[in-house]
Structure 1
């Protein structure tokens, strides 16, 4: 069965995925250029992600949708097991959001330009002024139920275990006084780990935890609370 799955993903899955990726990027760029970036910056990517999971025959399970309020903007944070985390969250979270991503990802052909057109937030840490501009951009984006999605580890794990969190997402949540929603991803590491080349079949599960609201005034105490509690919530369901 492993050999059959490898032949399938190389001969059928990968070619369709490449074509779908290019078409999704072009649709996103054109739709956002014509107008209504709120719609075109999210739904083509959502359908592309769902198609990718279906195309590679990967079962998906999501728990916790009921804890979210449709009119509230959140900062979503999740552990980063592998490349398929993106398809799991984008396709099945069910919330319009913008990704916070590394500036270097803007260079990916088609995808980088589509992400820019969709209003995703590229992090530039080259100076305090650039960091301040990132926060101001996030403040403009996170309105009317639109949320932010961040992998606070900063990069995919090598081992499957969760790495320490960086402060960026929680700093924005603190500055904008927004609730943080921790999410646990299971199964993505088994499908395609950071050092992997070919996919392995494995179910994926996304667990959405109860939002964590800021306490008191803005500052280091609130930031540390959001970061610590989010780590605990994600870790407790991590297999």
Structure 2
């Protein structure tokens, strides 16, 4: 519990420093170059996320990195198990990318401003909000910015991978030539258990990059396509789980 208190205090301090850096950037850089301010804001956010993982002494085991071509733009689709998945994503994804997040996160003091300046995308409920979000995603992809989207929509409460929401198909329909990169993450739920604020340090996160695919190449209706993503993710998640249990 002592480590948790220490970690939360450091987290708060680090978040405030991150906000100050972003705010200074907003004043002195954004008026002259929006693109540079986005890149720098994203870099600050990555540094923030990676530092929080390092402070918890988290290590990573990355598999099949050859499936992740850093020269390409992707729809990056990891599974969602924990609040630490965001920090994990900052550690495993490279280059310029934008998160797709609920609009409520944009209202969080300091964090919300940082996300907005990094050009991340907020999803509002309702048809109009969904259409606007998809257009925002398309615009980022056209500008060579990968998208990090959690297809399940929310964190899994069972520890198993949930069926993805239909939103991923709507995005894929608008951007049919952008490859989907499934990314399996195992172990983040053990850093902080559900309904608990206790931080469990010194964990190893296993990550496996699967082969990219296009939903347009998957034959069948929407349910078949969603099931395809769910099945390959579940299969590899269970493999990582068994591998971890045998170590």
Kept after mapping to 1: 8 A contact 2:81/2:155: yes
Q: CA deviation at 1:170?
A: 2.8
Q: CA deviation at 1:181?
A: 0.7
Q: List alignment gaps of at least 5 residues for structure 1.
A: 1-5
Q: CA deviation at 1:111?
A: 0.3
What are the equivalent positions in structure 2 for 1:23-62 lying under 5 Å apart? 23-31=17-25, 34=29, 35=33, 36-62=36-62
Q: List alignment gaps of at least 5 residues for structure 2.
A: 242-247
C-alpha distance in structure 2 between counterparts of 1:95 and 1:167, whole Å: 27
Q: TM-score, normalised by structure 2?
A: 0.84
SS at match of 1:109: coil
Q: CA deviation at 1:134?
A: 1.3
Aligned residues: 230
SS at match of 2:228: helix
Matched, 1:85 2:122: no
* RMSD between aligned residues: 2.2
Cα offsets for 1:112-171 (capped at 9, x unmatched) = 111111111111122x23222111111111135311111111111222112221011231
Kept after mapping to 1: 8 A contact 2:152/2:162: yes
Cα offsets for 1:46-71 (capped at 9, x unmatched) = 11121111101122222232212333
1:19 is aligned to 13
Cα offsets for 1:206-225 (capped at 9, x unmatched) = 211111124369xx957555
Q: CA deviation at 1:102?
A: 0.5
Q: CA deviation at 1:226?
A: 4.7
What are the equivalent positions in structure 2 for 1:225-236 lying under 5 Å apart? 226-236=225-235
2:75 is aligned to 75
1:3 is aligned to none
C-alpha distance in structure 2 between counterparts of 1:226 and 1:38, whole Å: 34
Q: TM-score, normalised by structure 1?
A: 0.87
